[in-house]
Structure 1
């Protein structure tokens, strides 16, 4: 885990860089869980957020190109309605939610993210190469927060 240069700093924003290593998915989940606990996040929001992060980070590892020296970045931002999760990677291809045939073994990640966030997720630009995928997890009654 490395610091992210020029990332917003403060007690409500946590940013880290991770090597392209599948073991870092669990490390990032542990990091998110730690901060959500410090922020007093309700358990049901915490469980959804950790699962959403796991899906987004795994997608970054699976689908993003791995140019030499590139990392996956995560950012967690505490919000009144829960937490905003960002996963930055060097891949140019934007993820899209798709319908999956029942016999397929994978491809349901963004359907799950969509369900857990109530549709509060998207893809945005980032400084440099690649993209940023974001999602907002919070109570089901929270208003829709849209932001790239």
Structure 2
């Protein structure tokens, strides 16, 4: 038996990272930290500021507004794209978020407008298997993306 040249296995970061979270305010921070870590592993640290705000807004919306059915978890999925990341937040509520214009004296209501601005309008709501919906957004280094919906 002849021994070949030893090979070294390189651990490359997965192109998709998925995680489920309890419907808790703490999940917002944890999802943001997971995304920042993953962007660094993918060599996309320049996207961290915008992407962290986007995931914070989307997970916050799921925590605050996707209250039914009771007891269901929130899911996140981060997919590496060429020069960017697709962020998905899954929840079991059928209620779809709507972008609205908040008045100057309102404390809340600007989250999706912020997501829209940070993603260049590359966000939306899709159906998913099972109950609920997926709210997705794409953050790209060049402001454009070949992301699928």
Q: TM-score range by the shorter chain?
A: 0.7 to 0.9
Tell me if the contact between 1:121 and 1:146 (Cα under 8 Å) persists in the aligned partners: no
- 2:115 paired residue number: 113
Structure 2 residue 15 is the aligned partner of structure 1 residue 12: yes
- 1:4 paired residue number: none
Q: Number of aligned pairs?
A: 137
- d(CA) in 2 for partners of 1:145 and 1:12? 15
Tell me if the contact between 1:125 and 1:132 (Cα under 8 Å) persists in the aligned partners: yes
Deviations 1:98-142 (A, max 9, x none): 111101110000000000000000000111111000000012x34
- 1:5 paired residue number: none
TM-score (norm 2): 0.86
- d(CA) in 2 for partners of 1:74 and 1:67? 18
The root-mean-square deviation of aligned C-alpha atoms, in Å, is: 1.4
- d(CA) in 1 for partners of 2:39 and 2:55? 12
- d(CA) in 2 for partners of 1:147 and 1:94? 20
Tell me if the contact between 1:13 and 1:76 (Cα under 8 Å) persists in the aligned partners: yes
TM-score (norm 1): 0.87
Deviations 1:22-79 (A, max 9, x none): 1111111111111100001042x11100110000000001110242431000000000
SS in 2 for 1:47: helix
SS in 2 for 1:129: coil
Q: Which runs of 5+ in 2 are unaligned?
A: 1-12
- Find the partner of 2:85 among 83, 86, 100: 83
Q: 1:144 to 1:13 in 2, by over 3 A?
A: closer
